[in-house]
A and B are shown apart, each in its own frame.
Chain A
Amino acid sequence: MANILETRDLTYAYTSRQEDPSLDSVSVGISEGVRTVILGANGAGKSTLFYHFNGIFKPKSGEVLYRGKPLEYTREALSVLRNEISVVVQNPDEQIFSATVEEDVAFGPMNMGMERDEIERRIQHSLFKVGMEDYRYRPTIQLSYGQRKRVALAGALATDPKVLILDEPTAGLDPQMSQEVIELVEELISAGTTVIISTHDVDLAYSWADEIHVLRRGKLVYSGKPEPFFEDRVQTALAGLVLPHTFSVNHSVQAIRGLPEAPFPRTNSQMLCKMLPDCDAAGKIRLIPVSDSLPECAGEGRVGIYGSNVRRLFRAAGMTPDFHFNAVEHCLMEAVSGRDAVLYCDESVRAAVLERIQSMEQFGKCVEVVM
């Protein structure tokens, strides 16, 4: 797949007296539509790299390319670039400038010089996506940290970027909200946005990423699929990271059983699937894609919901699902355990959900999907 963003021998130092540059000859390629994680310990240079992607920092040497073209650092060119590449910084307080939620979400679109009707549509859409539509007129100072984080994300979504860069998107969030953010990211990917996440949360990186790029003290030490990196224990430790929980458990259990580690499960359901005896029959998942209205539930079993639209429709109907967050994983756990489940999902993420369910086959269980 073509690189949407690329750096070639990128070197950057904050001051001329800095002995070790913050980024040292970093050459990295971000493929379009691929779930990418920039992994590294604190101070590894993740944020510095991000700020090169949207032209905030100019390399001391080397170059940054967007869609194969080197970045231009003129005011006009940067303005166009930043309309396409949006960065959500780690601390929402650094990103929220306006007094009310509505004003802050409108900030980006207004800077882009959009028509009022379009701005209005984008405010509604992005606040709905992050579940903050009821807070539209609230002063930003009255919001909790999690709510501010959502507003910061809505502000980025309102610009409808081609590339969305999230710096530690789950830091400081409770587990449910972290799941919600990842769900939202999945929706964006399904809609064609390339999402790059920076994190030191190895569990998140391992379960979510197609590709990881690992930074250590400003140097790129690994690029590729997550498994080979975590197999190298020394490299993992030197990068200031630990093994992901699922990876670690798989390693230990398979060692006891004397079996090969591959295929590597990334989620608990995949792990369970791999561990259970082959004779156990899997349950079925009734998948109900939803666009405008909630269809009647025709299946049996516990119910999960996935996607912002479904979430809104359930709330409007006063219905309470069994699995409000991380529903795909929960439904898969049910199915692997031999029970049926019902999964309502947004039409836009149907393909991604099906892909996820079908991935269970490589771990020895075929979960039947009923549409």
Chain B
Amino acid sequence: MSEQTQMDTLAYSSRMLSWAPLGKFLFVIAVLIVNIMTSSMLVPFVTLAIGLILMAYSTNFKIPFFVGLALAEALLILAIGAGIISITGDKADPAIWDTNLLWFDIYMTADSFNKAWLILFRGVAGMSVMLAFATSTPIPHLSQALRQIRMPREVSELVVLIYRYGFLLLERMESMWDAAHCRMGFNGFMNTMKTTASIAVGIFTSSSNMADKAQIALDCRNYQGFFPVYNSPPKVGVKWIAFTAAVFVLIYLFGIHTEGWINMAKLFFGEAI
């Protein structure tokens, strides 16, 4: 089963499945925004805690391996990015580490060091909140939620169709991939490149063929030009908006109050900084 399918399975079995998708979306967006509104190092930790708690609740306290792996991957990418930020400090400020490596000029300042950590924390925290949303909200629910905010019907229906056919194409790609393996299609670098290109072309051709057949099948089922929805997910209510606003304000105030509490440069390089 591909990671996408696993994610979908997880979303459909989530304990937060019956929550209003638009409410969840609003909450996540609010938390992500407040996460970057203050320069407090502690706010990302609050955001991270919210994300982890939601994810744990959503998955019945069993965070699957692939979600952990996704977080770890994100952490790695963010760490590389943060590392680069930390070593490209403003040369007008005093350096805490200044050296040359090959043709790179490494110039780390207290500010760049702190900024790098802040970005890393914010990134990881944001990822956890977004994953909590992704593991509890199937795409069709999100699409239906989009209809509730008067998103054009064509957009939400395209989302559903892409979701549906995306999985079918993924399934087909996996079969082609396995078949190529059986025929030693991945022996050697050049061979791998050729096989991958052939699979990509095959998938493209399949998708157009699939679209033709889908149109016929839609007509067979008396398609009237739109996808009707039988069971719409719950709508976002005043409670959701009030709760989201309260959390937003609380985290913001907490962030303002705790700005400057943690200085990573001092923690790592001592009081001399």
User: A366 to B222, alpha carbons, bound, how many Å?
Assistant: 48
The total of chain B residues at the interface (CB under 8 A) is 30
Which residues, 125 to 143 on A, are CB-close (under 8 Å) to B?
138-142
**Most chain A beta-carbon contacts within 10 A, residue among B214, B216, B219, B228:** B228
User: A79 to B224, alpha carbons, bound, how many Å?
Assistant: 8
Is A95 a contact partner of B217 (Cβ separation < 8 A)?
A: yes
A110 contact set on B, CB distance < 8 A? 228, 230
**A255 contacts the other chain (Cβ, under 8 Å)?**
no
Is A139 a contact partner of B230 (Cβ separation < 8 A)?
A: no
Is B220 a contact partner of A56 (Cβ separation < 8 A)?
A: yes
**A107 contacts the other chain (Cβ, under 8 Å)?**
yes
Is B231 a contact partner of A102 (Cβ separation < 8 A)?
A: yes
Is A99 a contact partner of B220 (Cβ separation < 8 A)?
A: no
Is B222 a contact partner of A112 (Cβ separation < 8 A)?
A: yes
**B204 contacts the other chain (Cβ, under 8 Å)?**
no
Looking across the interface, which residue of chain A has its beta carbon closest to that of B12? Answer: A139
B140 contact set on A, CB distance < 8 A? 98-100, 103
Is A111 a contact partner of B167 (Cβ separation < 8 A)?
A: no
Which residues, 310 to 325 on A, are CB-close (under 8 Å) to B?
none
Is B220 a contact partner of A82 (Cβ separation < 8 A)?
A: yes
Chain A nearest Cβ from B21, distance in angstroms: 13
Q: Which one of A82, A83, A139, A155 lies within 8 Å of B138 (CB-CB)? A: A139
**A86 contacts the other chain (Cβ, under 8 Å)?**
yes
Chain B nearest Cβ from A166, distance in angstroms: 12
The total of chain A residues at the interface (CB under 8 A) is 35
User: A155 to B220, alpha carbons, bound, how many Å?
Assistant: 11
Looking across the interface, which residue of chain A has its beta carbon closest to that of B167? Answer: A141
User: A103 to B222, alpha carbons, bound, how many Å?
Assistant: 15
User: A86 to B8, alpha carbons, bound, how many Å?
Assistant: 31
Which residues, 52 to 96 on A, are CB-close (under 8 Å) to B?
54, 56, 79, 82-83, 86-87, 89, 91, 93-96
Q: Which one of A51, A102, A155 lies within 8 Å of B221 (CB-CB)? A: A155
Which residues, 3 to 57 on B, are CB-close (under 8 Å) to A?
5, 8-9, 12
Is B163 a contact partner of A54 (Cβ separation < 8 A)?
A: no
Which residues, 99 to 152 on B, are CB-close (under 8 Å) to A?
138-140
Looking across the interface, which residue of chain B has its beta carbon closest to that of A86? Answer: B220
A96 contact set on B, CB distance < 8 A? 164
Known: A97-B164, A102-B230, A103-B231. Is A54-B8 also a contact (CB below 8 A)?
no
Chain A nearest Cβ from B162, distance in angstroms: 12
Is A94 a contact partner of B210 (Cβ separation < 8 A)?
A: yes
Interface string of A200-227 (1 = CB under 8 A from B): 0000000000000000000000000000
**B69 contacts the other chain (Cβ, under 8 Å)?**
no
Known: A99-B140, A106-B230, A139-B9. Is A94-B221 also a contact (CB below 8 A)?
no
A-side interface mostly: helix
Q: Which one of A56, A98, A119, A141 lies within 8 Å of B216 (CB-CB)? A: A56
User: A310 to B8, alpha carbons, bound, how many Å?
Assistant: 36
**A7 contacts the other chain (Cβ, under 8 Å)?**
no
Known: A110-B228, A141-B5. Is A99-B222 also a contact (CB below 8 A)?
no
B-side interface mostly: helix
User: A91 to B214, alpha carbons, bound, how many Å?
Assistant: 11
Which residues, 156 to 173 on B, are CB-close (under 8 Å) to A?
160-161, 163-164, 167-168
**B66 contacts the other chain (Cβ, under 8 Å)?**
no
Is A56 a contact partner of B219 (Cβ separation < 8 A)?
A: yes
Chain B nearest Cβ from A316, distance in angstroms: 26
User: A51 to B210, alpha carbons, bound, how many Å?
Assistant: 17
B138 contact set on A, CB distance < 8 A? 99, 139
Chain A nearest Cβ from B103, distance in angstroms: 50
User: A106 to B228, alpha carbons, bound, how many Å?
Assistant: 9
**A33 contacts the other chain (Cβ, under 8 Å)?**
no
Is B220 a contact partner of A87 (Cβ separation < 8 A)?
A: yes
**A283 contacts the other chain (Cβ, under 8 Å)?**
no
Interface string of A30-60 (1 = CB under 8 A from B): 0000000000000000000001001010000
Which residues, 108 to 164 on A, are CB-close (under 8 Å) to B?
108, 110-112, 119, 123, 138-142, 155, 159
B210 contact set on A, CB distance < 8 A? 94
Which residues, 202 to 249 on B, are CB-close (under 8 Å) to A?
210, 213-214, 216-224, 227-231
Q: Which one of A86, A111, A139, A159 lies within 8 Å of B223 (CB-CB)? A: A111
Is B139 a contact partner of A94 (Cβ separation < 8 A)?
A: no
A108 contact set on B, CB distance < 8 A? 221-222
Looking across the interface, which residue of chain A has its beta carbon closest to that of B212? Answer: A94
B230 contact set on A, CB distance < 8 A? 102-103, 106, 110, 119, 123
**Most chain B beta-carbon contacts within 10 A, residue among A83, A96, A99, A142:** A99
Chain A nearest Cβ from B187, distance in angstroms: 31
Chain B nearest Cβ from A99, distance in angstroms: 4
Is A94 a contact partner of B213 (Cβ separation < 8 A)?
A: yes
6 closest A-B pairs by beta carbon, nearest first, are: A110-B228, A99-B140, A106-B230, A82-B222, A111-B222, A87-B220
Additional A-B contacts beyond A99-B164, A159-B222 (20; CB < 8 A): A54-B220, A82-B222, A89-B216, A93-B168, A94-B210, A97-B164, A97-B214, A97-B221, A98-B140, A99-B138, A102-B230, A107-B221, A107-B227, A108-B222, A119-B230, A139-B8, A139-B9, A140-B164, A141-B164, A142-B8
Please list 7 pairs of residues, one from A and one from B, whose beta carbons are closer than 8 Å in the complex, sorted by A's number. Answer: A82-B222, A94-B214, A103-B140, A111-B223, A111-B228, A112-B222, A141-B164
Q: Chain B: residues with CB nearer than 8 A to chain A?
A: 5, 8-9, 12, 138-140, 160-161, 163-164, 167-168, 210, 213-214, 216-224, 227-231
